[in-house]
Amino acid sequence: GNSVTQMEGPVTLSEEAFLTINCTYTATGYPSLFWYVQYPGEGLQLLLKATKADDKGSNKGFEATYRKETTSFHLEKGSVQVSDSAVYFCALMPGTSYDKVIFGPGTSLSVIP
Amino acid sequence: DAGVIQSPRHEVTEMGQEVTLRCKPISGHDYLFWYRQTMMRGLELLIYFNNNVPIDDSGMPEDRFSAKMPNASFSTLKIQPSEPRDSAVYFCASSLTRDLYYIQYFGAGTRLSVL
């Protein structure tokens, strides 16, 4: 079946540190991959996406590359800010089911000054 | 656009009472999703609609939960009777078929506390 696995949190970093949040997936067909972010007290919102192998999604300084050979979609940012404190969800849309997105468990990030 | 609007933002009720959560999707969107988020179970898809028709309700935990979408601009999730284990944040999300990647737009959620 289709599933998403993320590194467990919480993750605590100092401001300007490098961020990596690992995400691996299992899927049939050719899924599209997403990172969603949930800021405190808000709903999820799309951060970035990639739709085929070797695509790199990027937004707000965050990047993730669709690696089919390792079935991974790790999220990275070179220098985090306090305002990046949030919960990050890796997600996939199966290539055979275009209406249901499968979300990972989420990774909580806290950035301290 | 105002985005997905959920009401109420917070609901506190007593066990056994009926609870109704409301959602207004983004105008023109043809998919609507209801999720539940808890610390223990994360984000769970409860049910989703396409063009106001329920497509998959396999995530609805039990018969106490029901959802309706009487028109394209309104949906409700009802819990009757409510139990303390229903305490969670409930999110509504909508998406558009013409958006090839079915990006979901979430509301701010309703935090439900059942005492």
- Comparing B2 with B80, the larger pLDDT belongs to B80
Q: pLDDT band for position A2 (50/70/90)?
A: confident
| Interface test with chain B among A34, A36, A44, A47, by most B beta carbons within 10 Å | A44
Whole-angstrom distance, CA of residue B36 vs CA of residue A12: 26
Q: Which residue has the tokens 């300007």?
A: A16
- Per CB-CB distance under 8 Å, the chain B contacts of A93 are 101-102
Query: B51-65 burial by CB neighbour count: b if 16+ within 10 A, else e?
Result: eeeeebeeebeeeeb
Q: Which of B42, B103, B107 sits opposite A43 (nearest CB)?
A: B107
In B, minimum Cα distance to A33 occurs at B101
pLDDT in tens, A32-84: 999 999 999 899 999 999 988 999 999 999 999 999 999 999 999 999 999 99
pLDDT over threshold 90, residue B100 = no
Residue A55 burial by CB count (10 A; 0-12/13-18/19+): exposed, middle or buried? middle
Residue range B21-78, pLDDT digits in tens: 999 999 999 999 999 999 888 899 999 999 999 999 999 988 999 999 999 999 999 9
